[in-house]
Amino acid sequence: MKMVAPWTRFYSNSCCLCCHVRTGTILLGVWYLIINAVVLLILLSALADPDQYHFSSSELGGDFEFMDDANMCIAIAISLLMILICAMATYGAYKQRAAWIIPFFCYQIFDFALNTLVAITVNTYGNCLLIFPTEMMSCQ
């Protein structure tokens, strides 16, 4: 009978859909790379042809101009940053360098915290959030 330390009994190498942690990290990094590349292509096509994605004020319900060039450039910069972070995570998992995965891990923590706050806000103040836009439109 082989003697096994008690802390090694519960150690697992798999977490992502029963894949190894390294494989799951690579798959997750590639998935985020694809999603962010699609977002970047959409943003660049909207920047190249602004009339294609321009909505009239009647479609938006007011005089909102939210997709000007400055906002578009900020969104493109964020998308490029996300592509860099996802590529770093994929490379770090592939080459087994943990320091390269840390920015992606920090992004995941930030994203989880932000989504948790949004979920709590929607569940707590759901009725107020439905009434607020109609009140704002009547003030104009």
Instruction: Give me the pLDDT at residue 21, please.
Output: 81
Total of domains in the chain = 1
Specify if 81 maps to a domain.
yes
Is 8 within the bounds of a domain? no
Residue 1 lies in a domain: no
Distances (CA, A) of 134 to 103, 119, 122, 137, 140: 40, 22, 17, 5, 11
Q: How confident is the model at residue 108 (pLDDT cuts 50, 70, 90)?
A: very high
How far apart are alpha carbons 128 and 132 in whole angstroms? 6
pLDDT score at 1? 53
pLDDT beyond 60 at 37:
yes
Cα separation, 33 vs 19, whole angstroms: 19
Rounded to the nearest 10 degrees, the angle between the axes of helix 21-48 and helix 69-95 is 160
The reply to whether 7 falls in a domain is no
* Domain span at 39: 15-139
Give domain status of residue 6, yes or no.
no
For residue 117, is pLDDT > 90? yes
Round to whole Å and give the CA distance between 40 and 65: 20
In a domain, 2, yes or no: no
Q: Is residue 10 in a domain?
A: no
Share of the chain above pLDDT 70, in %: 69
Cα–Cα distance measured from residue 112 to residue 22, given in angstroms and rounded to the nearest whole number: 21
Interaxial angle between packed helices 69-95 and 102-124, expressed in degrees from 0 to 180 and rounded to the nearest 10: 130
pLDDT surpassing 90 at residue 111: yes
* 84 located within any domain: yes
pLDDT at 47 over 60: yes
pTM of the model: 0.70
Higher pLDDT, 60 or 88: 88
